[in-house]
Amino acid sequence: MTLLTELKPSLPSTWYYDPDHYALELRAVWYRDWVCIGRLEDVPEKGDYRVVELGDQRLIVTRNGDGKVNVFHNTCRHRGSALCTSDAGRFRNGRIICPYHTWTYSLDGDLVATPSRAETDDFHAEEFSLYAVHSDAWGGYLFINLSTAPEHSLLEFLGDEVQRVNNWPLADMVSVHQERADLACNWKVFWENYNECYHCPRMHPELCRLVPVYKKGLISRSDDPDWSPESADDDGEPHVAAGNATWTLDGQTILPPIPGPTDAERNIGMTFASFTASMFVVAHTDYVRSVRLLPTGPESVTLIVDWLLLPGVYESHKDEMEKTLQLGRLVVEQDGRACELNQEGLRSSRHQTGVLVAQEYWLWEFHEWLRDRLREEQAA
């Protein structure tokens, strides 16, 4: 992408708070695309389960006896009762039992028992399996697709972005720390904030000291008129300042380097992979951080931030963990405040639409992508 050569209009302000438009976006994006809902390790053992909310849908994530992770709607096939009443737990004896009439399902969703039901010739248990949700995994992350027939496979949906972090052993890593942030803003506000650094000089002074190009309000070194390639393979990606190795407040770490990244990737110190609109990954030489988005209302979104390390590293470096967490945590807090301010101002009766300036080209691309998705949904 290159800088915009002319001002562009932003999205209509009502799109950030109108309930009907929010419902349309749920159908056009969140119920149609592949959405990251966690890590495979979230359900480590047979029968473990977690309940995940996406929009107004509640889903059960569990693991069967063969180690396969399955996802189902949290809905009994009898009369629609919720099956799980806790956010996490374990299904006793490997059975999912409805708390209302005791219809009982296997961990693969098959109906295996209907206690006290009067028999009739027209009842066939195989016709009443749980409502399964399409699911697949990449890099240890679990994705789901709520459509009845996904348009693309998960890897097709993720696209070339996976190549950016292919050298990190993501599937072998584990989440050693997780934090949740509930923000009073529309999901688009946070995604827009992520896709520009125009706000960085004011909002992220600590990050700007670490990443020089951010001081200029730019997201890429190639956006700088003074930039010129240092080598034939210098693509203008942002990188940490000389003498720094990773994203910590002082740019230093004593965590062991993650095997896999090239010398060039280590020198850059930060590699982003973005999967519109539910997740982005930031890979460093010593740890990986991911941020997942789950919309919870027209003016609310939940962020789940995970810090990943290879097995055993956390246990041998517990004293270093707070240092590893500090900058990422601070950046999310700063972005959260900015996004909530943005959301508050969008309620002005005078503000119909805003304007995008030159370095907000990723926002324009995102807006165009969203407009296309909405048109497709409305035409369906």
pLDDT digits (tens, 9 = 90+) for 102-142: 999 999 999 999 999 999 999 999 999 999 999 999 999 99
Residues 234 and 267 in one domain: yes
Residue 50 forms part of a structural domain: yes
Show which of 145, 178, 209 is a domain's final residue: 145
Total number of domains in the chain = 2
Q: Are 94 and 65 in contact (CB under 8 A)?
A: yes
Residues 12 and 55 in one domain: no
Residue 175 forms part of a structural domain: yes
Q: Which single residue is written with the structure tokens 């099956």?
A: 83
Query: In whole angstroms, what is the distance from residue 277 CA to residue 275 CA?
Result: 6
Taken in order 134, 175, 47, 303, the sign of the CA dihedral is negative
CATH of residue 39's domain is 2.102.10.10
Whether the pLDDT of residue 228 is over 90: the answer is no
Residue 155 forms part of a structural domain: no
Residues 193 and 301 in one domain: yes
3-state secondary structure of 378: helix
Residues 357 and 272 in one domain: yes
Q: Residue 144: pLDDT band by 50, 70, 90 thresholds?
A: very high
Residues 81 and 196 in one domain: no
pLDDT on residue 234: 77
pLDDT on residue 225: 87
pLDDT on residue 232: 59
Residues 291 and 344 in one domain: yes
Show which of 145, 176, 192 is a domain's final residue: 145
- Please state, as a whole number, how many other Cβ atoms lie within 10 Å of the Cβ of residue 341: 14
Residue 317 forms part of a structural domain: yes
pLDDT on residue 192: 98
CB half-sphere exposure, 157, CA atoms < 13 A:
23
Backbone phi, psi, residue 52, to 5°: -120, 140
Whether the pLDDT of residue 1 is over 80: the answer is no
Residue 62 forms part of a structural domain: yes
* Domain that residue 272 falls in: 8-17+166-379
- Please state, as a whole number, how many other Cβ atoms lie within 10 Å of the Cβ of residue 68: 12
Residues 116 and 263 in one domain: no
CATH of residue 326's domain is 3.90.380.10
Residue 152 forms part of a structural domain: no
Query: In whole angstroms, what is the distance from residue 97 CA to residue 76 CA?
Result: 9
Residues 301 and 336 in one domain: yes
Residues 349 and 298 in one domain: yes
How far does CA 8 lie from the centroid of its chain? 27
255 token code pair: 């965590």
Residues 135 and 223 in one domain: no
In terms of Cβ atoms closer than 10 Å to its own Cβ (0-12, 13-18, 19+), residue 281 is: buried
Residues 228 and 128 in one domain: no
Residues 241 and 346 in one domain: yes
To the nearest whole percent, how much of the chain has pLDDT over 90? 95
Instruction: Provide the strand spans (E) within 55-161.
Output: 57-63, 69-73, 88-90, 95-97, 104-106, 111-113, 134-138, 141-145
The arithmetic mean of pLDDT across residues 314-339, rounded, is 97
Residues 248-259 pLDDT 10s = 999 999 999 999
To the nearest whole percent, how much of the chain has pLDDT over 70? 99
Show which of 114, 145, 176 is a domain's final residue: 145
294 token code pair: 């789950």
pLDDT on residue 27: 98
The arithmetic mean of pLDDT across residues 189-199, rounded, is 98
Residue 161 forms part of a structural domain: no
Query: In whole angstroms, what is the distance from residue 279 CA to residue 293 CA?
Result: 6
Residue 154 forms part of a structural domain: no
Whether the pLDDT of residue 366 is over 70: the answer is yes
